[in-house]
Amino acid sequence: MTVENFEVSLITVPVQLVVKTKLVPVAGACYSDIEMRIISKKTLREFWSKHPDAEQSLQAWHAKTKLAVWKTSSDVKDDYRNASFVANNRVIFNIKGNTYRLVGVINYDFSIVYIRFIGTHKDYDNIDATVI
């Protein structure tokens, strides 16, 4: 049995560590340049389990929205030109070529989108998006 000696050289490589934290809204605080929080993805998963053709479109909406930094309704319009705005900070998003509609409430100060409704266009016609 032979033992060989190995020379080890250390190379210094700069590494950037990115830490993502979940922020809990603090009363009176205003967060800037923070990705949108979506409450809740579970609602989307439950919907696409019943409507599998919507899964890809909803996942794309979720991914794009999560990375967005929206401070005003015009920021939303920059990302989603077909979004419609109604009372009480409600925004209607067309999903899968307007086959489905998603109603969200956006809290711009805390960078949160609350999903209030997702359904077919026919289901959407039977609700009042301003109060749901």
Mean pLDDT across the chain: 84
Alpha-carbon dihedral angle through residues 115, 118, 121, 124, given to the nearest 10 degrees: -70
Kindly list the domain boundaries of the chain, sorted by start residue: 37-125
Enter the pTM of the model.
0.73
Helices then strands, counting H and E runs in the chain, come out as 4, 5
How do strand 84-86 and strand 90-95 relate by DSSP bridges? antiparallel
pLDDT at 107 over 90: yes
Using an 8 Å Cβ cutoff, are 35 and 68 in contact? yes
What is the 3-state secondary structure of 81-98? CCCEEECCCEEEEEECCC
Digit-coded pLDDT (tens) for 85-105: 999 989 999 999 999 999 999
**CATH dotted code for 37-125:** 3.30.2310
Digit-coded pLDDT (tens) for 43-89: 999 999 999 999 999 999 999 999 999 999 999 999 999 999 999 98
The pLDDT confidence band at residue 126, using thresholds 50, 70 and 90, is very high
pLDDT at 13: 46
pLDDT at 20: 47
